[in-house]
Structure 1
Amino acid sequence: MRNRETRVRGIAARAGGWSARHRWAAVGIWVLFVVLATGLGSAAGRVDVKDSDQMGGETHTAARIVEEAGIDEPASESVLVQAKSGDLKATDAEFRAAVDAVVTAVEGTGKVTGVTSPYDAKTISKDGRSALVQFDMRGEADTAGERVEPVLKAVEGVQEEHGSLRIEEIGGASMMKTFDDAFGDDFKKAEYSAVPVALGILLVAFGALVAALVPVALAITAIIATMGLMGLVSHFQPMSETANSVMLLVGLAVGVDYCLFYLRREREERAAGRDAQTALRIAAATSGREIVVSGVTVCVAMAGMLFTGIAEFEAMGLASLMVVAVAMVGSVTVLPALLSLLGERVEKGRVPFLRRRRPSGSASEGSRFWTAVLKRVLAKPLLAAVVAVGALLAVAAPALGMKTQNLTLDQEFGDSLPIVQTYNRVNEAFPGGSDPAEVVVRADDINAPEVRAALADFRERAISSGASRGPVDVTTHDEQNVALVYVPLVGGSDQDKAGESLDKLRDEVRPATLGKVDGVEAPITGQVAGNKDFNDQLVGSVLPVFAFVVVFAFL
């Protein structure tokens, strides 16, 4: 009769019961799975998301054209030379001497190429107080931040010699270095500190070292296995460093959380006087089921990100889905085996000054507060449902007005970094110069007369339409039949105004110029364009994502 009372049903209960009876087999299978996943993932290697797949719309098309053409765009840098007072102008001898000194200094580092004087490129502000010396970093753009320091020091040296002028460098490489110096280690610190913090919390919760180590160990092995699986899956759905970091933090959170459910219920049942095997079976039937339901629900929610059409979101969603699934499986299989093996030894390593908490009544006795809440909810379920739904809608309402975009430098860091002030000065003197729109023009023959005439017309109309104040620069790659047109947008760091300028380029200037030439593609990309394309993609994916999650979560 007693066997019938303790018999449990359900996948989680059967898995937990089998693991408790075949303890070493369950542990061995888990270890083998982790080793195989890690080994196969390492052998397969990981494929990361390409730049051309990061966004949708014209941004995607432009990146794909550049990628197919094999064009490696260098990291561009600019040195702002600006008079501190209104008396000094770019035409004055002192100003010219400073510009010449900058040109000589950066060329002397051997780290740059294509140094252009503002007097040749006409990069002088309307008020005549500011000028830009422009150049490109040698080598790959992705690693330019590692090579820019000699150039920055050379510019600082020129600044020391010309106190009446501001001489400051800004660009992709210098921003990369500044970001890495200021915040580069923060993400790694967050990842490394997550395990000690989780362990500390569990020590307080359980008061025993072994009981605290079990959830952490299981979470870490789930993360290691998922990293291997990510390598395999990346050949079908490319991954990214961001997805890797999100997976690590999500995996640690759910891995510890699921184990905490199981372990706490098992301890409560043993504290209530039940033998170890019965306590495990009850934990498997109750907490194990909760873990499966919770895990499947989270997996469905993460799977919804696969419908966004944004590669970064798809990578994060799939990585999170996998680590939650692995942690869920581990919690209902290998965890019961470990608890069965440890028995009372799970209480080893008692922490002084932390008393072991024992329930004063039955194992099912809960918090007085939540018991009182539950009684009132059950007494008036309709009213409780209305209040709950109303509260959720009130909390969710601000999401309807949510504005998403890639943050500009000043929005992301405020005034905490000196380079932000340089960024603002450049935008004030040359609106849009820090984040120009980039028109990627591909033609059958980029040097054909009609194409060259359309490019010239585009440059003129970009300024005459009010979308840009110039200068509009064109870089032609003859072998690839591609031209890159850089258009500083009126509005600068003001994303709304810059967005209006972008619309003029896309909807008015381009159709009247490049759009009239057969066989010419001219997608417009850049930070402002990326924001627009990202938002359009995000808004378009809300309905399918929402529908998928709601439908499958309730199946």
Structure 2
Amino acid sequence: MKMNLSTARVARASARHPWRAVAAWVVGLGVAVALIVTLLGGALITETKLTNDPESARAEELVRSRLGETDDTVDEVAIVRSTTMTVDDPAFQEQVERLYADITALGADVVAGGTHYYLTGDESLVSADRRTTLIPLVIPDGARAEIGQVHRIVERVGLDGAFQVLVTGEATVDAEITEVAEKDLAIGEGIGLSVALVILTLVLGAVAAAILPMVLAIAAIIVALGVAALVGQAIDLPFFVINVITMMGLAVGIDYSLFVVSRYREERAKGLEKVEAIATAGGTAGRTVVLSGLSVSLALMGLLITPDSGTRMVGAGSLLVVIAAVLASMTLLPALLGLMGDKVDAIRIPFVRRHASARPAAATGGFWYWTARAVMGRPVVSLVLSAGLLLAVAIPSFDLKQGEVGVSALPDGLMSKEAFILLEEEFGYGQDLPAVVVIDGPTGAGSVVAAVTRLGAAIAADPDFVTSTLEVHPEADLTILRVWLAGDSANQRAIRAVERLRADLIPAAFDGVPATVMVTGDTAGLVDL
């Protein structure tokens, strides 16, 4: 059966039995909303994983298998600073001990452990001017959402102005990024929908006709989010998949339905009966929508084979909303047109010419008419020029820098951003996210010890590294060197430093040494993308 016949039949059936189609969509939307409310929130995560077994993942697995360490905790750090006192003042000590007691009193379910300078005497927890100290905290991975309780304690302490107290770490950054993303999404949706409605109204010349594409886009988004909530029960979804589905849904939902609505109005203006006009629109514009949806879907499937789980889910979310938009344009839209009929032109905008016209195409003229004639008259020249323009625009992508947005790129005013700046000023590194050098070899062998010493000296002489600590585990034949990076662990300076660590410093230090050396950590994971 030909494509135009099948799409025309679907459109005709929906137009003849509009209430059945609308009822089916209402039920589907109700189920989708229920899934979103009950399941979507618990399926969202803030981390992504690489699935191609990169060096960073192998190093983590080695540490886990040898030492029994797990990924069930995340590190946070509270920062206490005074402009008038040093850590040697009794009042400063009293403040730190009281803050630590309040935080740990939240219980092991929220804060699994921690330490501070007055417990250990560790001078690395104190800044050079002795006015700032760090309180390292260990948060259970399952309690990331509870980090707000720690934030509230810290905020109360800082109210009197005597001390500046901040918290940063994976849980804090994740919580603030999620909050910012949700606010930006709400603002973006409001602006996007408003602008789209104004443009559609001007293009179509009637408010009712302009609202239909918006309704279709929103329906497609809701259905896609509902299906994503189901998928999220088996596969973790990055939180930004909501933004992707919303953005893509507005784009394709409006675009696809605009084709059908415009063609329907043209056919009605030519005198076709309502149902036949809808069927004709479905067999022409509807076929274009289906082919476009198939093309976009095939392109998005390419994202499903990438080694980054976040990119895969972006592709999956986009694919879901494109399919939903095509289905809505083929079934729900013809049903709504069947119910509205010529009321689709209701609330006309004065001075805006009616979009549809019964005049023959040759008499329409206009910019696009003459552009199409020029392109079809010189197809080879047009192909060369358009392909050349597209290639020229694509040239910058060859030097695309992949990675993630670091803390330094977050909006001002966020606690994690302020803590990053303070850490960088007082301790030389903005985040407690070191590169972790994992050395698999006999810890007592002289050649291994000498190589570790050479590597430590090279790191100490490199300005892109701030400091390092060494852990030796002779029972597991494993040595771990943690190296703190200058500045933001996600910026290009940190990425280049880890690349140089792998390509230059480690090979030079371990040349001829019977040991396997790998680098892991957050920055190493970005390098492995």
**Shorter-chain TM-score category?**
0.7 to 0.9
Written as runs of structure 1 = structure 2, the 5 A alignment for 1:259-408 is 259-348=257-346, 350=347, 353=350, 357=354, 359=356, 362=359, 364=361, 368-408=366-406
The DSSP-based 3-state class of the residue aligned with 1:79 is: strand
Task: Tell me whether 1:107 sits opposite 2:104 in the alignment.
Answer: no
Q: After alignment, is 302-311 or 31-40 more displaced? A: 31-40
For residues 237 and 367 of structure 1, the distance between their equivalents in structure 2, rounded to whole angstroms, comes to 52
Q: 1:175 to 1:329 in 2, by over 3 A?
A: closer
Is the 1:115–1:134 Cα contact (8 Å) retained in structure 2? Answer: yes
Alignment size in residue pairs: 508
The DSSP-based 3-state class of the residue aligned with 2:77 is: strand
Aligned counterpart, 1:96: 88
For residues 209 and 101 of structure 1, the distance between their equivalents in structure 2, rounded to whole angstroms, comes to 66
Aligned counterpart, 1:487: 483
Aligned counterpart, 1:143: 145
For residues 388 and 462 of structure 1, the distance between their equivalents in structure 2, rounded to whole angstroms, comes to 55
Q: 1:336 to 1:126 in 2, by over 3 A?
A: closer
Task: Tell me whether 1:462 sits opposite 2:456 in the alignment.
Answer: yes
Is the 1:265–1:287 Cα contact (8 Å) retained in structure 2? Answer: yes
Q: 1:377 to 1:213 in 2, by over 3 A?
A: closer
Q: 1:147 to 1:491 in 2, by over 3 A?
A: closer
Q: Which of 7, 13, 27 is equivalent to 1:12?
A: 7
Q: 1:24 to 1:419 in 2, by over 3 A?
A: closer
Q: Which of 429, 432, 436 is equivalent to 2:429?
A: 432
Q: Which runs of 5+ in 2 are unaligned?
A: 105-110
For residues 455 and 101 of structure 1, the distance between their equivalents in structure 2, rounded to whole angstroms, comes to 42
Q: Which amino acid aligns with 2:373?
A: K
For residues 241 and 60 of structure 2, the distance between their equivalents in structure 1, rounded to whole angstroms, comes to 21
TM-score, normalization by structure 2:
0.77
Q: 1:441 to 1:42 in 2, by over 3 A?
A: farther
For residues 278 and 505 of structure 1, the distance between their equivalents in structure 2, rounded to whole angstroms, comes to 69
Is the 1:426–1:433 Cα contact (8 Å) retained in structure 2? Answer: yes
Q: Which of 494, 505, 509 is equivalent to 1:498?
A: 494
Q: After alignment, is 262-271 or 112-121 more displaced? A: 112-121
For residues 178 and 139 of structure 2, the distance between their equivalents in structure 1, rounded to whole angstroms, comes to 19
For residues 194 and 483 of structure 1, the distance between their equivalents in structure 2, rounded to whole angstroms, comes to 53
Percent identity, aligned pairs only, is 26
For residues 38 and 456 of structure 1, the distance between their equivalents in structure 2, rounded to whole angstroms, comes to 62
**1:532 shift after superposition:** 0.9
Q: 1:492 to 1:305 in 2, by over 3 A?
A: closer
For residues 455 and 151 of structure 1, the distance between their equivalents in structure 2, rounded to whole angstroms, comes to 45
Q: Cα RMSD between the aligned structures?
A: 4.6
Is the 2:125–2:134 Cα contact (8 Å) retained in structure 1? Answer: no
Aligned counterpart, 2:49: 53
The DSSP-based 3-state class of the residue aligned with 1:273 is: coil
The DSSP-based 3-state class of the residue aligned with 2:215 is: helix
Q: After alignment, is 232-241 or 268-277 more displaced? A: 232-241
**1:147 shift after superposition:** 1.8
Aligned counterpart, 2:409: 411
Task: Tell me whether 1:423 sits opposite 2:458 in the alignment.
Answer: no
For residues 124 and 136 of structure 1, the distance between their equivalents in structure 2, rounded to whole angstroms, comes to 12
**1:454 shift after superposition:** 7.2
Q: After alignment, is 282-291 or 462-471 more displaced? A: 462-471
**1:213 shift after superposition:** 3.6
The DSSP-based 3-state class of the residue aligned with 1:110 is: helix
